[in-house]
Every structure is written in C-alpha cells, then in structure tokens.
C-alpha cells in the first residue's frame, strides 16, 4: 500500500462514520459557508452550523440556523457506512414539526438519489455535498473536499463493481445496503403481502441483508427467507454466506413446531444440489457455479428421519429439545437454514440481487 492509499484509508475511516463525517462538513462550513448554502438553495444568511442537536431521544447530526433569530432552516442527517436506526427519522420529524416554519430535512448518503427516505426527508448525495467545496476560494478547504470526494467516488464505483475487487473497508456495507434496497423494491412491485428486504450488520459487525416472502403454507408468522452476509471486510476474496431458511416470527412451542415442520417439508429444495439445478434452469448458470457447500449439501448434519422425528417429539412433549437443531443451521430454533458459500470474485451486487430473488422464487414454488 503506497502513501496515497494509506491516506485514503485513514480518511475513509473518518468519512464512514456519521459523527466524524459531520465534523468534517461542519469544519468546511466554518471555512466557507457559501457552497452548502448554494447547494441547499438558501439565501446568503448569515447562518450557523450546529452539531449534535438534541431531538427527543436522539441527536441530529447537523442543523443550520439563521444567525439573527436562531430558527433552524435545514437539518442534515449523515450516513456513511451505517444505515438509519429504527424509527430515527420519524423521531427527528417530531422535533422538526415542533418548529414553525419547519426546517427542510436532508438524508445524506453515498446512495444519493437512489436512497428512499420517508417524506419529507430529501435524499442528498455525500459526493455532491463535499464536492461543492472543491472550487471554493480557500485552498485548504478545496484540497480537503477533493480528498474526501475522491474516497467517496471510489467507494461508489466499487460498490457497483466486482465484489472480489473491492479495496474500501466499508464498500461491503454499501454492497449489502444497495442490494437490499434493490431486492426490497422488486419484492414490493411483485408481491402485495408484506414481502420485504432489509440490510443489517451481524453481531460481529459484518454487513448482511435478509429478504422475506410469505410462506404459502404457514401461519401469518411464517416466512421463507434468504440471509446473505459478508464474512470479512478486509478480505474481498473471501466467500459470502447465503442461508436459505424458514423464519417464524413468533415464540413458544407452537412456533418451534411450525418452524421445524415447514423446514423439514422444504428441506429437499433448500440444499445446494436443488438450488444449483433451479438456478441453471432459470438461466443463471454463473450463479449456480458460484455456490458451494462445506458439507452435507448445505445442511449442518445429515437429514436422518429418525433424528428429525425425535426432535419433533420432544417439542410436542413441551421441552426445548436442545441448543442446536440436529439438521439445520438455526437461530433460537425459529429460523432454520441451510448454509452455502458464494464465490463473489466475479459477481456484482446485481448478481447478489438476482441470486436472492431466484432462490426465494425457487423455495416458494416448492413450499
């Protein structure tokens, strides 16, 4: 890694986190406020830029206020590698609507116009924001803005390119988030039943996303899902995990029993061989070739009928049979999955989206 790459890596760690990215933006505003005022179509002011403004149980990243009356005119919520937290934007709306006139609200991400924040939040590209200072009169601010913009543009391009060629530490977050958004949009267009996809992070901090479709034979709590996760940000050549699963959004004996029964019924379609065959039939041979399993065709252990029957009997008897399901990978016995590995060296996020949709369609057909 040469000096310029080390510099971009160090700067990237600042830009990826909303707090430090907001600090950088506030610094540029103090040096020269005009680029941001022009971008947001605000008059000459003067304005102040305030960080970490208390808003209910949260804090707004940046608030622009008129200097004369201190009224807020614009709110900027910054998101680098992370995503919005729960009902964060709704809570901030409550604060904004308590002010009259209510300030304009901007949701600032690397996804720019592709982001879909709830109204009245307006999407705004981080690249567009920081690039606004590249032509400002202050040479230091222009240099810093140029460095930040270069980092962001590199991430943006890598997130849409081959996953195995990425260099940015936070690019897998963007891949996961953009893939989830694309899958979610496709599910909502095709199905009016609550089908949905979301991006998350694993307990270890790696990016992942999940997509759900309603299980056609299950209760209202039963879903067919696909879980896709990155296993190592610093090693782009590493495989990602793909977990086709049955997911029951409930608790208790009945939920454990339903998750088990639906998964056992669907098990022949959840294994590597069946999924590869389905992908090949659908014309996705390159996706089929990218999948492999470490053991048992993707199952945690062989699907022994006697073992499965014993597990079910123990659930019926009112006990929790054990910590681990005897056949499937699982989460609390309610999300039962097979586990496949995806060689992403020659794949893009568009391939991950196609893979997710194809596997969901295949599983629903065989449910």
Instruction: Please name every residue paired with 170 in a beta bridge, in sequence order, or none if there are none.
Output: none
Helices (H), the chain: 3-16, 18-31, 34-39, 88-97, 126-131, 139-159, 171-190, 253-270, 272-281, 285-289, 305-316, 349-366
Q: Domain boundary at 102, 128, 159, which?
A: 159
- Per residue in 194-206, pLDDT (tens digit) is 999 999 888 788 8
147 in the same domain as 221: no
168 in the same domain as 153: no
- Per residue in 246-264, pLDDT (tens digit) is 999 998 889 999 999 999 9
17 phi and psi angles, rounded to 5 deg: -100, 130
270 in the same domain as 318: yes
Helices (H), 161-230: 171-190
178 in the same domain as 212: yes
170 in the same domain as 141: no
167 in the same domain as 145: no
- Per residue in 98-118, pLDDT (tens digit) is 888 888 889 888 876 667 777
Confidence of residue 216 (pLDDT cuts 50, 70, 90): very high
**Domain span including residue 147:** 3-159
Distance CA 141, CA 265 (A): 62
227 in the same domain as 138: no
132 in the same domain as 210: no
How many domains does the chain fold into? 2
Closest CA to 114 of 166, 167, 180: 180
């Amino acid at each position: 890694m040469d000096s310029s790459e080390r510099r971009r890596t160090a700067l990237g760690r600042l830009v990826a986190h909303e707090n430090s990215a907001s600090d950088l933006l506030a610094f540029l505003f103090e040096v020269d406020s005009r680029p941001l005022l022009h971008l947001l179509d605000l008059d000459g002011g003067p304005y102040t830029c305030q960080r970490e403004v208390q808003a209910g149980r949260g804090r707004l990243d940046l608030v622009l206020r008129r200097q004369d009356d201190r009224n807020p005119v614009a709110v900027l919520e910054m998101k680098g590698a992370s995503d919005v937290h729960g009902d964060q934007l709704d809570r901030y709306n409550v604060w904004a609507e308590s002010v009259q006139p209510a300030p304009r609200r901007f949701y600032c991400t690397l996804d720019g116009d592709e982001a879909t924040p709830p109204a009245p939040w307006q999407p705004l590209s981080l690249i567009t924001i920081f690039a606004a200072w590249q032509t400002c009169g202050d040479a230091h601010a222009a240099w810093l803005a140029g460095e930040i913009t270069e980092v962001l543009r590199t991430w943006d391009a890598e997130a849409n390119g081959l996953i195995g060629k990425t260099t940015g530490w936070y690019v897998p977050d963007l891949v996961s988030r953009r893939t989830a958004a694309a899958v979610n949009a496709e599910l909502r267009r095709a199905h009016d039943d609550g089908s949905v996809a979301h991006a998350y992070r694993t307990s270890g901090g790696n990016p992942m996303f999940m997509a759900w479709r309603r299980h056609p034979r299950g209760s209202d709590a039963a879903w067919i899902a696909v879980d896709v996760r990155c296993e190592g940000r610093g090693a782009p050549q590493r495989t990602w995990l793909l977990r086709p699963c049955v997911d029951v959004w409930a608790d208790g004996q009945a939920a454990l029993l339903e998750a088990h029964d639906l998964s056992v019924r669907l098990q022949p379609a959840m294994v590597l061989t069946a999924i590869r065959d389905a992908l090949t039939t659908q014309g996705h041979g390159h996706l089929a070739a990218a999948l492999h399993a470490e053991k048992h065709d993707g199952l945690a252990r062989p699907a022994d009928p006697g073992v499965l029957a014993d597990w079910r009997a123990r659930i019926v008897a009112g006990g929790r049979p054990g910590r681990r399901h005897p056949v499937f990978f699982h989460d609390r016995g309610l999300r039962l999955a097979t586990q496949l590995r995806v060689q992403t060296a020659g794949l893009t996020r568009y391939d991950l989206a196609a893979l997710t949709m194809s596997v969901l369609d295949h599983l629903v057909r065989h449910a």
